[in-house]
Amino acid sequence: MSEPAAVSRAAAVAPAPPAILVVFGAAGDLARRLLVPALCNLARAGLLSERFAVIGVARQDLDEEGFRRSLARSARESAKDTAAQDACAPDVWPWLSRRLYYVRGDFNAPDTYERIARRLREVAAQHRTGGNVLFYLATPPGLFAAVARRLGAAGLVRQENGWWRRLIIEKPFGTDLASAQALNRDLLAVLGEDQIFRIDHYLGKETVQNIMVLRFANGLFEPLWNRDHVDHVQITVAETVEVGRRGRFYDATGALRDMVPNHLFQLLSLAAMEPPSCFNAAAVRAEKAKVLDAVHRLTPTDVRRDVVRGQYGAGIVEGKAVKAYRDAPDVAPSSRTETYVAMKLMIDNWRWAGVPFYLRTGKALARRRTEVVIQFKQAPLSLFRDTPVERLTANDLVLHIQPDEGASLRFNAKIPGPSVRADGVEMTFNYRDYFRSAPNTGYETLIYDCMIGDAVLFNRAEDIEAGWRVVQPVLDAWAEDPDAALPIYPAGSTGPPEAEALLGRDGRRWRAL
């Protein structure tokens, strides 16, 4: 087929408007491994305009043909990954390849932006894209503000004649509250809030978006989604991967900064938010922000009691020997950076008063799993005095986000036979069993939404700062007690025993990984 976009016009949604996507860091891992396959998937689905083009910006000494060959090679390698399988197959790649252009330059050099402006005019004329431009900063976080300032100084983010200019940045959005506030000030000095799209790729997952549909489109669940019926909530983002080659970044960051203010708090907000008045960006983001504003602020005493950190030691993960974190490249031999964190949070509002939210995340764990567990209160046991409490399965709703997207509900049923004996059963819904889903890297929805200007899945400046306000007391308490115990857990385990004790003292336990 000559034009994949033309073949798939039966897509349920309209293609994005004509635009040029300018990717800073286009020769890096993010662009090659995720963005390019996502663009291929969007092209196959008919969601990219015929008048679409990409300009890559990087320091590598490449011409445009070399840039295209490099991305083609990366696309073939990405096809080995099930998330991007067949994304850039022969029916799609030629279409996208003809729309790829390249500008070589230093991100801090003013003449780089002059070349970008010139190339934008040339590509816009060639592909009739008009003046819509989406700038994607696939760069180290330390360059976000600098690139934004350079774009502003070059007049490249000025919106004129009905055309839009937008900027995408990736997490982390700062390393603490003060740096997040400074980044927001720098960005908002150049662009309007409506021009800034802060990407958290977890929100591209179908099940994450489905949390709102599950809650607010089903009379079965929403009446039970409160302190009267829910015993507690668990949110888990467990990874089997070790630090690998990211030691320099990770040793300065740690699990708390890397995962909690963004990924885990996104899941927390969606699970705990009130129903928005309508499904638009302003209404949804307002309700999510209220959740973080209502999280009880931790005191130093709370941090010592309700926050657990750990670091992985040597062990076996999925049959493979893993070195201790401190033996990873670019990690300090005496590093005290946490690779695991678990915490108990309380939300001080009418719906959730008294209901604990337990969050955990870590690297080099026994299994890769991201899920939200809504555990309901135990039924009265007077009818089942001869059945030990531990034999009655907890009623819980589990929202599986990765690796298998779906949901499951556990409840008790009678075991066949003459006596009344109960045991737990499970009903499971898997996306792949019910819906025909296209290959997805998690970025397709996010990129498409940026191009159509739908900000529902993106954070505002105040949302970012609200998350850091919850985390900052933990960072401060750790800084004030640098010699506090840092448990070492074996790679391939479920984390430090102290995390089990966090729930155990409340008479609860984590859902098994």
127 catalytic? Reply is no
Q: Which residues contact 10 (CB under 8 A, 6 or more apart)?
A: 46
Residue 410 phi/psi, 5-degree rounding, is -105, 140
Rounded to 10 degrees, what is the CA torsion of 381, 382, 385, 390? 10
CA distance 73 to 57: 18
What are the E-state strand segments in 98-228? Answer: 100-104, 133-137, 165-170, 196-199
DSSP 8-state secondary structure symbol assigned to residue 246:
G
CA distance 159 to 435: 40
First and final C-alpha spacing in the chain:
45
Q: Which of 456, 453, 455, 457 is nearest to 17 (CA)?
A: 453
CA distance 438 to 41: 8
| Active-site option among 127, 201, 232, 263 | 263
Q: Which residues contact 378 (CB under 8 A, 6 or more apart)?
A: 231, 389, 392, 394, 395
Residue 356 CA, chain-centre distance (Å), reads 23
Strand order across the 307-313 sheet: 422-430, 406-414, 396-402, 369-376, 230-238, 356-362, 340-346, 307-313, 488-490
Instruction: Check: CB of residue 96 under 8 Å from CB of residue 40.
Output: yes
CA distance 454 to 448: 9
Residues labelled as active-site residues: 263
